[in-house]
Structure 1
Amino acid sequence: MARKRKGRDISGWLVVDKPAGITSTSVVNKVRWALEAKKAGHAGTLDPEATGVLAVALGEATKTVPYITDALKAYRFTVRLGQATNTDDTEGEVIATSDARPSDDEIIAALPQFLGDIMQVPPKFSAVKIDGQRAYKLARDGEDVELAARPLWVEELLLVDRPDADHVTLEMTCGKGGYVRSIARDLGTSLGCHGHVRELRRVWSGPFDVENGLTLDRIEEIARTPELDTFIQPLEIGLADLPELKCTPEGAAKLRNGNPGMVLAATVEYGDEAWASLDGEAVAVGTYKAGELHPSRVFVRPE
């Protein structure tokens, strides 16, 4: 018989303003401890040295993680020009240098090639799997890592600051699976000067904004108190990009049992993915078909 996991049956989202020098998994573990939560996960890894929005899902909200992972995200990052590193950030070794320093106009002219649907090669030191092993592990072991290019949607890429000749600060809005380090590397290559990420901050992710995030220091300060609970956002926020369909108590009962349930639909078409609610509370996510929602994920609320 499986051991029952200890902790509170708590569901929702806690937005953390992640500091540098800690892994995303460590942040999740800290949040789980602070809230005494049974279950927690995050929506989109940040590199250890990156800062900013890390949305931590609690309990049933973990079932909405894929929708946040797929949502647009925005990053503000500083590129160090004139140097390439083997990790494409400051953690690695410098492997090439250049005395060339492009002008602001040259940088701006180079940005459009990274907009829209592009193909991007992830950094060699990344979590991408090659034959079942993480690329970063193979790279650390000295193996020659060759990664295939992957599609990425980049909605916006802007130059927002030029602190000095060696640095440029950019803001990017992109879809799922983007590597800012690759943008910095490829921009430096395009400009003929090399480049790597010096600082990286995620300013928003889907519906979550860094301005509403708690620092880890603040979380530790109010850990295991009712005050921390006041910062938990409803799990329904994770479904913001899906249409909401109202259902009756009878329809909700069927959905909770994993069966199709009747919903009121006005803005969806046959085959659309949507979520059903009863009195504003999420019941299930599924596919709309002829007046019913066919559930793929059902939310179980504590009694």
Structure 2
Amino acid sequence: MGRKRKGRDISGWLIVDKPAGMTSTAVVNKVRWALEAKKAGHAGTLDPEATGLLAIALGEATKTVPFITDAMKAYEFSVRFGQATNTDDAEGEVTSESDARPSDDEIKQELSKFVGEIMQVPPKFSAVKIDGQRAYKRARAGEEFEVAARPLWVEEILLTDRPDADHATIEMTCGKGGYVRAIARDLGEALGCYGHVVWLRRLWSGPFDLENAVTFDEIEALARTPALEEKLLPLELGLHDLAEVKATDMGAARLRNGNPGQVIARDVEFGEECWASHEGRAVAVGRYQGGELHPSRVFVSAEV
């Protein structure tokens, strides 16, 4: 028999404005402790030195994490021109330098080429797996290896500020799996001057933005008090990109047991993935099939 996990059965989302110098996992662990939660996870890693929105799911909300991970996200970041680093950010060692500096018009022209579906090679110092091992572990060991390019959808990427010749501030809205450090690296190469990220901030992710975020200091100050629990958002927000169908009383009972259940649907196509609600709470996620939802995820409790 496995060991029973300690903690409270608490469900919902806590949106955190992550400070620099902490891993995403460390923030999750702090939130789990502060809320005495049995289960927690995050939807999209931020590098330790990155700041901004980190969406943390608790309890049953962890079942909606994939939908937030797949959602569009927005970042603001600063690119330092004239230097390439081995990590593609300011924490790494400078590997190449150039005296060339691009004009604003040149930056805008090259940024326009990053819009739409692009092929991006993740940084070697990243969490992507190469032959079953994290790339950053192999890079730290000094191994020589190649990282395969992968597709990335970039909705928008704009030059928003040019504080000096060496730096540019950029905002980008993109889909799942985007590496801002790779954007800075590739932009510098395209401009013929090299480049790396100086700082990075996530502005929003799917339905979540920094307006509803709590700071790390607030988490520490409100830890294990009802005031922190009041900051939780409903788990249903994690399903914002899916169509909603209404479960009947009998349908909700069947769905909660993992069986197909009767639902009332409008403008939902046969086979479409959607979520069923009952009395305002999420019951299950699944495929709509002729008046029934066939569940793939069932929510034991939707209470915040």
TM-score range, shorter chain: over 0.9
Residue 8 of structure 2 corresponds to 8
2: distance between equivalents of 1:267 and 1:171?
A: 35
Shift of 1:249: 1.2
2: distance between equivalents of 1:39 and 1:76?
A: 30
Residue 61 of structure 1 corresponds to 61
1: distance between equivalents of 2:165 and 2:104?
A: 9
SS of the residue 2:163 aligns to: strand
- Aligned residue runs from structure 1 range 137-176, under 5 A: 137-176=137-176
Consecutive unaligned residues in structure 1, runs of 5 or more? none
Instruction: Tell me the percent identity.
Output: 76
> Would the aligned equivalents of 2:72 and 2:173 in 1 still touch at CA under 8 Å?
yes
> Would the aligned equivalents of 1:20 and 1:48 in 2 still touch at CA under 8 Å?
yes
SS of the residue 1:274 aligns to: strand
Counterpart check, 1:184 vs 2:184? yes
> Would the aligned equivalents of 1:9 and 1:302 in 2 still touch at CA under 8 Å?
no
> Would the aligned equivalents of 2:283 and 2:302 in 1 still touch at CA under 8 Å?
no
SS of the residue 1:262 aligns to: strand
Shift of 1:211: 2.1
2: distance between equivalents of 1:103 and 1:243?
A: 45
Shift of 1:202: 0.1
Please list the CA deviations of residues 253-298 of structure 1 after superposition, one character each: whole Å capped at 9, or x if unmatched: 1111111101111111001000000011000000001110000000
> Would the aligned equivalents of 1:13 and 1:58 in 2 still touch at CA under 8 Å?
yes
Please list the CA deviations of residues 41-89 of structure 1 after superposition, one character each: whole Å capped at 9, or x if unmatched: 0000000000000000000000000000000000000000000000000
> Would the aligned equivalents of 1:15 and 1:54 in 2 still touch at CA under 8 Å?
yes
1: distance between equivalents of 2:223 and 2:103?
A: 48
SS of the residue 2:184 aligns to: helix
TM-score (norm 1): 0.99
Residue 211 of structure 1 corresponds to 211
2: distance between equivalents of 1:65 and 1:99?
A: 44
Consecutive unaligned residues in structure 2, runs of 5 or more? none
Q: Give the 3 Å change call, closer, same or farther, for CA 214–302 of structure 1 in structure 2.
A: closer
TM-score (norm 2): 0.99
> Would the aligned equivalents of 2:282 and 2:302 in 1 still touch at CA under 8 Å?
no
Please list the CA deviations of residues 210-254 of structure 1 after superposition, one character each: whole Å capped at 9, or x if unmatched: 121111111100100000011000000000110110011100011
Any runs of at least 4 consecutive aligned residues in structure 1 with deviations exceeding 2 A, and if so which?
none
Shift of 1:302: 8.2
SS of the residue 2:237 aligns to: helix
> Would the aligned equivalents of 2:281 and 2:302 in 1 still touch at CA under 8 Å?
no
1: distance between equivalents of 2:60 and 2:302?
A: 10
Shift of 1:301: 1.6
Counterpart check, 1:269 vs 2:277? no
1: distance between equivalents of 2:104 and 2:267?
A: 46
SS of the residue 1:26 aligns to: helix
Residue 124 of structure 1 corresponds to 124
